Chain A
Amino acid sequence: MAGAKAPAPVSVSPNGKKASPMVFFWIFWVLLVNFFFYWDSLVTQSRLERVMNLWGLITN
């Protein structure tokens, strides 16, 4: 139909520029920090070292 806009492909952001795939890593990172912040505040005091220790337990 004349004048109708074609739907934007998913990799194009609302402002029309192409979004870098790296933003998914950034989103994941922000979610991770938020998760551990609330975990620490509401459940226990956690540290990255504990995560690393857990990784050590898995790999050993």
Chain B
Amino acid sequence: MPPLLTVMIWALLVAVAVGTGLLVLRLLSIKNCTFLEQFVLGLACGLGVLSFGSAALGGVGLLTRSWMLLWLLVAAACAAASYWAAAKGRKAEATPAPLPPWPRKSKILWTLYALVAAFGVVYFLSCLAPPIDGDTLHSYLHVPRQFVDAARIINLPYEVHANVPLNIQMLSAMALLVSGDELAQLVAGFTMLAGCCLILLVLGRRYLNVHAGLLASLLFASMICVSSLAPTAKVNLGWAFFELASLYCLARWWSGEQLRSWLLLAGLLAGLALGTLYAAAFTILAVCFFLSWLSFRKGPRGLISDLLCYCVPAFALALPWLLRNYLDVGNPVYPVGNAFLGLPSAMPVAHTTSVWGWLTIAWDMSVGYVAGKFGKPVGPWVLAPLPALLLLRPLPQFLRFSLGLGLVIFVLWLFGVQRPRNLLPALGLFSLGSAWAILKINLPWKWMKKGVLALLLLFLIFSLSVTVRAHLAQPHRLAYIAGKISRQQMAGMMQDRFLACPNSVLTQYINNKLPPGAKVAALYLGNGYYINKPFWDSRMLDKDFAHDRAKGWKEMSENWRRAGITHVFVNWPYLAKIDFAAEKEMSLDYGHLLNKEFSSKCLRPLIISGGQELFEFTCR
């Protein structure tokens, strides 16, 4: 689909989502919001509704293009009715502006606008090319694509991320049916990032000031770990958006309005977050702690009622995925706690387990990678400026609330996957604190203030340059966006450049030459989004991704036979890059593959190209 058409469909989809979301806000009697607040809350709720609609179609086996379009038509009708009602309501009761007017244009405001716009344009354009990100090809689009192929949500026992909460994957399935993977990236990547930034802006505007909100959005968008998420279909930005929207509602409830509808909406949005990523449970836990502390003075009845008002919708919205996991694999929160249920266990990716490491992890993620090469840097401006808040008196009450909550989430996060992308909502709250600190710190000389701002500008330009270089400034990508080359050419060129991906020759061969029932085992590599047949990472064929359990080649081939494998894909240059000496357990299957007896008895070479080889698996 031409990029321009994709952009138009995306704009229409956003309009439908916002309109549907406004209907939810109306049903919950959410009032006293500015236009921007209504827009961003409507977007969060609407995307949740669209995701649930897509999941419902998948659940009943109607995940086809025509049914999806029908569902979107219904949603569009609801959205139109909601817009009409909103316009009518505005005419009937002109509510006074609840906040001070937007500040007058100043040099700093224009600079912030320009930088936000620059990041926005780069992220938007980088979504408009076929995906090449490893996790997206391996899981985040591969799983919804298989649902779409089967026209329903199916059990995928050999996919590593098929039994996790799938709210964003269902939005991707919707995008795949309506337009394609570029729309999926625009929805799961760009829209969710824009949502996060808008929430930070409205939080800043309501509780601090517009400059702080804009700067916080900029700090959030410029994190290196965020720049690697925006042009993909990964779920973390969607999770962060739902959580930040939930925390915004909580702030509204807490900051004097005390309306149950705000708490209920906070719970619903937290449920959408929990239906996206398990890490949302940390925030829900932190919020429960916070609610208990706040509502304690209301007495036991008030306390329990507040907790129920938040927790029941949160768990109710995540329940369908938890139930599906339980029915498919016997663990509602698979793979968390697998060890207790006798299922294959995997330790979460950790940077440190020592107390010293807990103290230095904030430094580590500010200056570089954490958790080996898994956790990309946050950068030096989200956490480092925070100590300045100790010098600022009095600190706005909202900042004390948000930083306290962020700190509790941070401590809980140390017990989970220690990657910055799994800490995004707390990093959003911290970026508000840092923005406030940078803008308000009292420096003795003017040149010192200018120096700090110049250093910040240097980082923003650095981050923007890295993003442009990594995700946009590639001749084939730009040529595709400009409509100079076809999707096939573009995807082929990108596949050939990306080492951890089947190249275009092998992809074409598997797609066109293998019989319809073929199932391919890919050694230590499952990036099979572009392949139209089951293309499974060999690590999952024993259903234990983290460990190679087969003791010998016979046991390994028995596992493969049981999974119905007919062909074996080996990417020799990719395997040569893996440090098997460091990954002792991973080396087992590789060792079996190199066994001459195995290769002579079970493998028949079919094609080799660019160091990638396809075999027929003959031990069936």
- Give A contacts to B, CB under 8 Å: 10-15, 17, 19-20, 22-23, 26-27, 29-31, 33-34, 36-41, 45-49
Contacts and interface: CB of A to CB of B under 8 A. Distances in A.
The 7 A-B pairs with the shortest beta carbon distances in the complex, nearest first, are A40-B368, A33-B384, A36-B367, A19-B444, A37-B380, A33-B380, A34-B380
A55 B357 CA distance: 17
A33 B364 CA distance: 10
A42 to B, nearest CB: 9
B449 interface: yes
B512 interface: no
The SS class assigned to the B binding surface is helix
A50 to B, nearest CB: 10
Interface string B418-452: 00000000000000000000000111111011001
A19 to B, nearest CB: 4
B384 to A, nearest CB: 4
B457 to A, nearest CB: 12
Of residues B385, B443, B459, which shows the largest number of chain A Cβ atoms within 10 Å of its Cβ?
Answer: B443
Contact of B455 (A17, A22, A29, A31): A31
A27 B452 contact: yes
A56 to B, nearest CB: 13
A17 B387 CA distance: 20
Contacts of A13: 442-445
A24 to B, nearest CB: 8
Interface string B358-396: 001001101111000000010110001101101100000
Contact of A19 (B384, B442, B452): B442
A29 to B, nearest CB: 7
Contacts of B377: 37, 40-41
B443 A48 contact: no
B384 A29 contact: yes
A60 B377 CA distance: 32
Of residues B367, B443, B452, B459, which shows the largest number of chain A Cβ atoms within 10 Å of its Cβ?
Answer: B367
Contacts of A38: 462
A33 B363 contact: yes
A10 B444 contact: yes
A15 B368 contact: no
A21 B603 CA distance: 73
Given A34-B455, A34-B459, A26 B441 contact: yes
A19 B14 CA distance: 47
Interface residues of B, number: 28
B527 to A, nearest CB: 25
A33 B366 contact: yes
Contacts of A36: 367-368, 380
B452 A47 contact: no
Interface in B54-96: none
Contacts of A48: 360, 363-364, 367
B379 A37 contact: yes
Contacts of B444: 10-13, 19, 23
B295 to A, nearest CB: 37
Of residues B364, B380, B385, B459, which shows the largest number of chain A Cβ atoms within 10 Å of its Cβ?
Answer: B380
A38 to B, nearest CB: 8
Interface in B177-194: none
Given A26-B388, A41-B377, A46 B368 contact: yes
A10 B445 contact: yes
Given A37-B366, A40-B368, A41-B377, A30 B443 contact: no
Contacts of B449: 14
A39 B377 CA distance: 13
Contacts of B369: 40, 45
Contacts of A22: 390-391
A59 to B, nearest CB: 17
B431 to A, nearest CB: 15
A11 B442 CA distance: 10
16 contacts: A10-B445, A14-B446, A19-B444, A23-B442, A26-B388, A27-B448, A30-B385, A30-B452, A30-B455, A33-B367, A34-B459, A36-B367, A37-B377, A37-B379, A48-B360, A48-B363
A26 B380 CA distance: 13
A15 to B, nearest CB: 7
Contacts of B390: 22
Contacts of A37: 366-368, 377, 379-380, 459
B418 to A, nearest CB: 14
A13 B448 CA distance: 10
Contacts of B391: 20, 22-23, 26
Contact of A46 (B367, B445, B448, B452): B367
Nearest to A31: B455
A40 B360 CA distance: 16
Nearest to B370: A47
A19 B385 contact: no
A41 B458 CA distance: 14
Contacts of A15: 442
A15 B440 CA distance: 11
Of residues B380, B444, B452, B459, which shows the largest number of chain A Cβ atoms within 10 Å of its Cβ?
Answer: B444
A29 B441 CA distance: 14
Interface in B319-371: 360, 363-364, 366-369
Contacts of A46: 367-368
Nearest to A25: B387
Contacts of A30: 380, 384-385, 452, 455
B448 to A, nearest CB: 7
A48 to B, nearest CB: 5
Given A30-B455, A34-B384, A46-B368, 10 more contacts: A19-B442, A23-B442, A23-B444, A27-B448, A30-B384, A37-B366, A37-B377, A37-B379, A40-B377, A48-B360
A20 B442 CA distance: 8
A47 B351 CA distance: 12
B387 A45 contact: no
A45 B368 contact: yes
B367 A49 contact: no
A16 to B, nearest CB: 10
Contacts of A17: 442
Of residues A10, A39, A48, which shows the largest number of chain B Cβ atoms within 10 Å of its Cβ?
Answer: A48
